[in-house]
Structure 1
Amino acid sequence: ISADTPDAEVTADIWGLPDHLRPVPVVLLVDEVAELALFSNTAEKKRRERIVTALVRLVQLGRAAGIYVEICGQRFGSELGDGITMLRAQLTGRVSHRVNDEASAKMAFGDISPDAVLATTQIPVERPGTAVAGDSTGGWVRIRTPFTSMRQAVNACTANAHRTPVLAGWSPSAQCCRSCLPARPRPPRRRPSPSLPDPFPTRSA
């Protein structure tokens, strides 16, 4: 960027780029963060450290490049290991459904609003879909999501499949997914063992 570049053409994120230059935004969804954080041996621990470090960097720097991260979990506390609370602190938008204890509510809203923590623990059982949404400004609100059946979700995905953008190096087709999987090694062929003599041969009378 030179000094002669107009101010209107200078931007810090992809949304300031013209349409023909703007890349497709990407949303990374983690369904259960505990599956990435738990480990049972040294190899899994090293793998876990790489994943958590990459997620923290992605959350910190990815927004300007149009990469957004949504992380879900039943619990999102320090018991999941190093780096988890740092990762949680980078997530500005928070949503929590009904929880069983105050500690779980504090994991979501402890650094946002004490009132949001109390509201989360007071969600009644007979109100499925009710949740509390908050952000880093300290504001929060009760929300309720409509029930969506599996058939409705499938129909919506099918009706909007043509809107799926083409990303370089990735195609969500089943054929691509199968080709990306490593080939299963075939079991070694075993030579047939020589037939053993019958220990009780039949004798003719």
Structure 2
Amino acid sequence: MILFAAVLPPPVVVTDIAAATAAATERLPRADRLRWSDPRDWHLTLAYYGPTSPEADGPLRQRLAALAAATEPFPLALRGAGRFADRVLWLGLGAGEPELAALAAAARAAGPGAGTSGPEAVADRRFVPHLTLARAGGPPTPLAPLADALADVAPPPWRVRRLVLLTAPPPGTAPQPGAARYTALASWPLGGPATAPS
């Protein structure tokens, strides 16, 4: 199974982002050409472990539980849109980047020690915290106008209190109709005991 560690925004933040993006995209041409992420799938990826064997799953969960226990809750805020060329449209951070980056680095380091082999778990890649809103598909779609239209999006800040282990379907596999793409397998409270996940 494909695993990755993430932080999830709370429902009030999801609702705020959904309303802001709907209002902005109604006014812009070609927004319907994008593949918009289901709000139920919104997250900030900390570490991508890739296909993970059952033998590595248990050790990875133990390491993530210990990481969560050693990390205190911290404030986080999303603000403004950005893009990876004309491929991905995303929201960036307005607050909490140092804490999130430290959590991401530790989550990435947990992978190889547990026996995962995902490229981001072992590569020294620059961490760019973001919440993916949409991906380009089909004809090229300039994303700069959308990023500009969403520049002032600033959902309410929240305190990150949980580290979540998500699974994704294999490449090329579509989720069941009406179902979210990602599934939470486990989560651990930050600053809590390094015990079984909930």
With normalisation by structure 1, the TM-score equals: 0.22
| Structure whose CA Rg is larger | 1
TM-score by length of 2: 0.22
